Chains A and B, each alone.
Chain A
Amino acid sequence: MIVERFADWIDERLGTAHFVHHALRKAFPDHWSFMLGEINMYAFVILVATGTFLALFFDPNTSKTIYHGPYWLLDGQQMSHAYESTLYLSFVVNGGLLLRQIHHWTALIFLAGIVVHMARIFLTGAFRKPREINWVLGIALFGVSMFEGFCGYSLPDDLLSGTGLRIADSVALSVPVIGAWLSFLLLGGNFPSQQMIPRLFVAHIFILPAVIAGLITVHLAIVWRQKHSQFPGPLRTEDNVVGSPMFPVYAVKSLALLAVIVFVVCALGATTQINPIWLWGPYDPWKASSPAQPDWYVGWLEGALRIAPPWAWHPFGRTIPSVFWPTVLLPAIVFGFLLLWPWIERAITRDHRSHQLLDRPREVPWRTALGAALLTFGFALTAAGSDDVQARYLHVSIVDIVHFYQAFTLGGPLLAFVVAYAAASELREKGGVRKAHRVSLKRNTRGGFEEDSVP
């Protein structure tokens, strides 16, 4: 076999046989929820591959040009080179639109996968000792990826993303003491600046992907070193891991996962239009489109901006504007809470032991209830981010909708906590969801039936 010959060739030079044997026979516990993190790893690979292609055509240049291209509806319009090169990529380059749409869809899936993966880790207690480092790295990945997505979405210099950038600049401005300075540092001057798009480009294709790749590498190296956690079961203890060997079974299943992700993003990219910037038009600071919603993962901040009370605070005759509370303080509290969670929980439970066996969510009702409350909080804010659309379709005044979401954002998590706590407690009593009692029937010699109970 050619593969063995190659392995021998390598071993004579590097002495890899021991490592290869160990790596291929490494145990990976089988559970569908352990594949969630893998989705993100593969999504990131797809993002780098498609993004590289896009970057070769994108021109990060804010100076203006007049459009003359195949999209005749914009013919003769003034626009930036950034916007024009995105149109060129979409309408002229063969496969350009497909790869742009695959890239955008994959980005949305990447962020969704991070949230779902994080929820799994939280609800099963996988963040407990010895895995706190990876929890912290994961939260960092979540934050950096959100930022990365926002930068990429802002590159085409279209009306929708330009409006989003203007809002982001107001967020920077709202930071006490250093806000104005921070805004100038990021933009290189007053909004909108010539430097804006080039800097976002460098951040999006170089700085942030390098950070994400580095974090993912350490994240996975730690999983490899510590071995995967597992649910309780036969043979499974606090100091072993039972599962399929890395090769062949797990590797082939993982390949199937990669392939199905590629299938999904290709199908979406082929059939489902996303971010048609030619419909928004080029960005001009005095124009606005309505309704205007960001990509889903920024939706919670958009919602927070809409329902936050108009409280400006004036300490020492200076100003902390109302934008500060929902867009700087709130995310800081949320991310701070998440980063510190393993230690907060340890302070509550006084549990300093190392854990290899995971909790089923029902076994720790209060933690599960807290997770449900957090997710409800995020959902309420995200839903508030489209309140104007809801007002239009439901024929309700925007003021009433804002009041509803203010109540929902505060009350919804409490309700979710109570409901999830009750549900988890009840499931714990029952010992999980019981399957119906199964019987097998046997025909007896008299022509009747007898029960033959099945374990």
Chain B
Amino acid sequence: MNRRELAIAFALFLTVIGSGGFIAAYATGGNTLYEGLGLGGAALGLCLAALGWAFWILPAEQVVDEIVTYPSPHDQRVAADLAIERGIEKISRPRLLLAMLGGALACFGAALLVPLRSLGPKLGDTLFHTAWRNGSVVVRDDGTPVKVSDLEVDSALLVFPHDAVEDAASQVTLVRVTESEAPQTHGYIAYSRVCTHAGCPVALYRAPDRQLLCPCHQSLFNVLADGAVVSGPADRALPRLPLVVGDDGVLRATGDFSSPVGPGFWEETGG
């Protein structure tokens, strides 16, 4: 056994060690690091052995293959064309029949595609409405109503309508600004939390700037200007939720959002 063969044998021995190491790591409860290094080491041994084998042991030979497979000789092509023609040569009006066949297959294919319609429910106007209605109580994600005394100025809160807690389309970010900035609602302003750009939750409130920031693509919305886009890729203002503070101090909505929530779609009028 010469030195090169010895080196290859060593590499193969690494595979034995690595495999054994993997099995040992697995059997002793499974440590991700040792299992992976065992498997990897086994593969590395095989790699080194194969390289040694290819470059040291095997003869370095060259073969020349002539390319004769394509294109086929002319007479073979003619024969193939004739074989294809056999399918229609006895038909008196092949055009008509073939057109009919094509049309029939197209109809059949269309019929087969129809069941795909079952994958989606009817669209309806679900994209235009949320669960917010006149009188919906503003509640936290644990269902407790929000009172006018609950929020500090400059803070923000995730809220839902009382009868649709954790409904994705109805999620709202409620912020509190100073009394003078929103006098009718004691400083409370609420916007849809679904970004009008690509639907991410507009979860970040930059209180000093009175701006809501979407973490996905960095659209900025102005809280004091009806949710207008300040910068970023969003093409539409955040829909605003009309609020009222009741005599009991509980915040309620006076209706649904001012426009459809979330990312844009064809049926939207873009008003």
A318:B266 contact, CB within 8 angstroms: yes
Contact among B37, B63, B267 for A243, CB-based, below 8 A: B63
A184 to B235, CA, bound (A): 23
How many Å from the CB of B228 to the closest CB on chain A? 11
Q: Are A288 and B201 in contact (CB under 8 A)?
A: yes
Residue of A nearest to B68 (CB): A239
- Tell me whether A169 and B233 are in contact in the complex, defined as CB-CB below 8 angstroms, given that A98-B35, A242-B64 are known contacts: no
Q: Mark A111-141, 1 if CB is under 8 A from B, else 0.
A: 0000000000000000000100000000000
Query: Once the chains are docked, how many angstroms separate the CA of A253 from the CA of B63?
Result: 16
Question: Nearest Cβ in chain A — how far from B234, in angstroms?
Answer: 6
CB distance from B142 to the nearest CB of A (A): 12
Q: Is A289 an interface residue (CB 8 A)?
A: yes
Identify A27's interface contact among B50, B63, B69, CB under 8 A.
B63
Q: Bits for B31-74, please: 1 = Cβ < 8 Å to A, else 0.
A: 01111110111011011101101100011111111111110000
Is A270's CB under 8 angstroms from B270's CB?
A: no
Chain B residue with the shortest CB-CB distance to A190: B126
Contacts of B224 in A (CB 8 A): none
Q: Does B171 contact A (CB under 8 A)?
A: yes
Q: Does B168 contact A (CB under 8 A)?
A: yes
Neighbouring B residues of A130 by C-beta, 8 Å: 70
| Interface residue B123 (Cβ < 8 Å from any Cβ of A) | yes
Nearest chain B CB to A183 CB, angstrom units: 8
A322 touches B36 (CB 8 A): no
B253 at the A/B interface (Cβ < 8 Å)?
no
Q: How far is A60 from B19 in the complex, measured between Cα atoms in Å?
A: 33
Question: Would A305 and B270 count as touching, CB distance under 8 A?
Answer: no
* Nearest-Cβ distance from residue A401 to partner chain B, whole angstroms: 9
Q: Which residue of A lies closest to B35 (CB)?
A: A98
> Residues 164-194 of chain A: 1 if any B CB is under 8 Å from the residue's CB, otherwise 0?
0011011101111111110111111111100
Interface residues of B (CB under 8 A from A): 26, 29-30, 32-37, 39-41, 43-44, 46-48, 50-51, 53-54, 58-70, 116-117, 119-121, 123, 126-127, 141, 158, 166, 168-169, 171, 193, 197-201, 203-204, 214-218, 229, 231-236, 262-270
Q: Cα distance A239–B66 when bound, in Å?
A: 6
**Whole-angstrom CA separation of A175 from B263 in the bound complex:** 12
Of the candidates B54, B66, B218, the one whose C-beta lies within 8 Å of that of A249 is B54
| 8 Å CB contact of A318 from B46, B171, B200, B268 | B268
Question: Within the complex, what minimum Cβ distance (angstroms) separates A402 from chain B?
Answer: 8
Query: Is there an interface contact between B29 and A94, defined as CB atoms closer than 8 Å?
Result: yes
**5 contacts across the A-B interface (CB closer than 8 A):** A27-B65, A174-B265, A190-B127, A190-B169, A240-B65
Closest to A266 in B: B40
From the candidates B32, B51, B65, B233, name the one contacting A26 in the complex (CB within 8 A). B65
Q: A312-B235, A322-B235 are in contact. List 9 more A-B contacts (CB 8 A).
A: A190-B168, A242-B62, A242-B63, A245-B61, A259-B43, A271-B37, A286-B201, A388-B215, A398-B231
Q: Are A227 and B263 in contact (CB under 8 A)?
A: no
Inter-chain CB contacts under 8 Å: number: 266
Cβ-defined contact, A180 with B64, below 8 A = no
Complex CA gap A163/B168 in Å reads 12
**Residues A139-153 near B (CB distance < 8 A):** none
Q: Are the CB atoms of B33 and A259 closer together than 8 Å? A: no
The one of A97, A174, A184, A256 in contact with B32, judged by C-beta atoms closer than 8 angstroms, is: A97
Complex: how many Å from CA A314 to CA B232? 20
Are the CB atoms of A314 and B43 closer together than 8 Å? Answer: no
In the bound complex, do residue A249 and residue B47 qualify as a contact, i.e. CB atoms below 8 Å apart? Answer: no
Which single residue of chain A is at the shortest CB-CB distance from B172?
A: A286
Q: Do A259 and B46 have beta carbons less than 8 Å apart?
A: yes
Total A residues in contact with B, Cβ cutoff 8 Å:
93
Q: Distance in Å from the Cβ of A231 to the closest Cβ of chain B?
A: 14
Q: Are A181 and B29 in contact (CB under 8 A)?
A: no
Tell me whether A431 is interfacial, beta carbon within 8 Å: no
Beyond A259-B50, A266-B39, whether A311 also contacts B235 by CB under 8 A is yes
* Residue A226, interface by CB 8 Å: yes
Are B270 and A184 neighbours in the complex by a CB distance under 8 Å? no
Query: Does the CB pair A321–B47 fall under 8 Å?
Result: no
A-B interface, 6 closest residue pairs, ranked by CB to CB distance from nearest: A270-B36, A321-B264, A266-B40, A170-B263, A259-B47, A256-B50
Contact (Cβ within 8 A) B64 A319: no
Given contacts A260-B44, A319-B265, contact A267 B216 (CB under 8 A): no
B50 pairs with A95, CB closer than 8 A? no
The one of B67, B121, B270 that contacts A189, using a Cβ cutoff of 8 Å:
B121
The answer for the CA separation of A79 and B60 in the assembled complex, in Å, is: 59
Most buried by A among B54, B64, B234, B265: B265
Contact A305:B217 (CB < 8 A) given known A184-B123, A270-B36, A286-B193? yes
Interface status of A387 (Cβ within 8 A of chain B): yes
Whether A179 and B40, one on each chain, are in contact in the complex, defined by CB atoms closer than 8 angstroms, is no
- From residue B232, how far is it (CB to closest CB) to chain A in Å? 7
| Cα distance A145–B43 in the bound complex, in angstroms | 26
Chain A residues in 8 Å Cβ range of B32: 95, 97-98, 101, 269-270
A356: chain B residues within 8 A (beta carbon): 67
| Interface membership of A76, Cβ < 8 A | no
Of all chain A residues, which has the CB nearest B62? Answer: A242
Q: How far, in Å, is A76 (CB) from chain B's closest CB?
A: 14
Instruction: Knowing A98-B36, A289-B215, A388-B218, say if A312 contacts B43 (CB, 8 Å).
Output: no
Pick the residue among B34, B66, B116 that contacts A185 (CB under 8 A). B116
Query: Distance in Å from the Cβ of A372 to the closest Cβ of chain B?
Result: 28
A176: chain B residues at CB < 8 Å are 266
**A252, A292, A306, A322: the one within 8 Å of B53 (CB):** A252
Question: Are A25 and B266 in contact, CB atoms less than 8 angstroms apart?
Answer: no
Complex-state Cα separation, A266 to B40, whole angstroms = 5
* Residues of B with C-beta under 8 A to A284: 166
- Asked if A262 and B43 sit within 8 Å, CB to CB, the answer is yes
- The distance in angstroms between the C-alpha atoms of A130 and B217, with both chains bound, is 44
